[in-house]
Amino acid sequence: MKSTPLKTALLMSIGSASNAFAASGAREDNSGLFVWIFLGFCALIVIAQLMPVMLLMFGFAKGLSKDKTTEPQAVKPG
């Protein structure tokens, strides 16, 4: 297989490892206590919204899993 200089140059540029865009160090977010309190409050709201949904889904699953193979009852003339 004949390799052209363009293919070789392309493979060398793609395959070369470089640290030109590497991070300089650990990121510092400067989040204080109030930010974490706010995020915790948001998490509580999300959990409070999900609890009724989960109960409803469990109710649907329970209703679908019930045995519905009951025999029809004959009606007696009265």
CA–CA dist 59, 67 (Å, integer): 15
pLDDT at 22 over 70: no
Task: Say what the pLDDT of residue 48 is.
Answer: 95
Task: Say what the pLDDT of residue 24 is.
Answer: 64
Which are the contacts of 33, defined by CB distance < 8 A and separation ≥ 6?
none
Per DSSP, 25 falls in state S
Per DSSP, 76 falls in state P
CA–CA dist 78, 71 (Å, integer): 21
The percent of residues above 90 in pLDDT, for the chain, comes to: 33
| Mean pLDDT (whole number) for 32-52 | 94
| Mean pLDDT (whole number) for 43-48 | 96
CA–CA dist 1, 8 (Å, integer): 13
Q: Where are the domains of the chain?
A: 32-62
